[in-house]
Amino acid sequence: MKSGDLLLTLSDAELVGLVLDGDSAAFAQLVRRYEAPVRAVGLNILGNTDADAADDAAQEAFIKAYEKLARLRSPAAFGPWLLRIVARCALDATRRMSRAEKMENFACIPDPNNDGQLDSTKKELLAAVLKLPKAQRQVVMLRYFGDNNVRQVADICGRSVGTVTKQLSRAHERLRKMLKGYEL
């Protein structure tokens, strides 16, 4: 077992190697290193107000990562691999949620201008986003509600940048058609 200070200096690949050799403190260090980004991905997908569901998705992701760590082909890619796992866990949770629960979560996103018109517009936009096909909805949520760049969305989803860009383009087109007549 390595001392706590030494674990802080090790790369993800080195920590993965130690975990595979039975060092539980190394996995605890990976959890500490990634708990904030993992939780953020969960919050971004589940809605910024559903902290309990995001925590559940994060916990499930860490458990799955630990159980499947030996299958990780490139230990240096632990971070993106873990974020893909939490994204799948969070998406599974959204499938279990009813449409009303999804709207409720996103309707509570703070309105920076605090005017009724923006709040109404925001609700219409969110309703339209929830009607998008699954893959498009996922990239839109991660990109715009999660404040991720296209490369980060691609890494989280396990897709190429080109695929994510095309999915965003198609989602924009669908949203334009759905929201035609609305002044956004």
Give yes or no for a contact between 123 and 103, defined as CB atoms under 8 angstroms apart: yes
The span from the first CA to the last CA of the chain, in angstroms, equals 57
For range 147-159, the mean pLDDT = 82
Query: Taking Cα atoms as reference points, which of 158, 14, 31 lies closest to residue 88?
Result: 158
pLDDT for the residue numbered 159: 87
How many CB atoms are located within 10 Å of the residue 7 CB? Answer: 20
> In which band, very low, low, confident or very high, does the pLDDT at 18 lie, cut at 50, 70 and 90?
very high
In degrees, rounded to 5, the angle at the alpha carbon of residue 3 between the alpha carbons of residues 32 and 78 is 40
State whether residue 23 is helix, strand or coil.
coil
> In which band, very low, low, confident or very high, does the pLDDT at 90 lie, cut at 50, 70 and 90?
confident
More confident residue, 80 or 20: 20
Tell me where in the chain the CATH 1.10.1740.10 domain(s) lie: 11-97
Which CATH number does the domain 11-97 belong to among 2.60.40.10, 1.10.1740.10, 1.10.15.40, 2.30.40.10?
A: 1.10.1740.10
pLDDT digits (tens, 9 = 90+) for 156-181: 788 899 999 999 999 999 999 988 87
DSSP, residue by residue, 58-113: HHHHHHHHHHHGGG-S-GGGHHHHHHHHHHHHHHHHHHHS-HHHHHHHHHTS--TT
How many CB atoms are located within 10 Å of the residue 133 CB? Answer: 11
Domain 110-184, CATH: 1.10.10.10
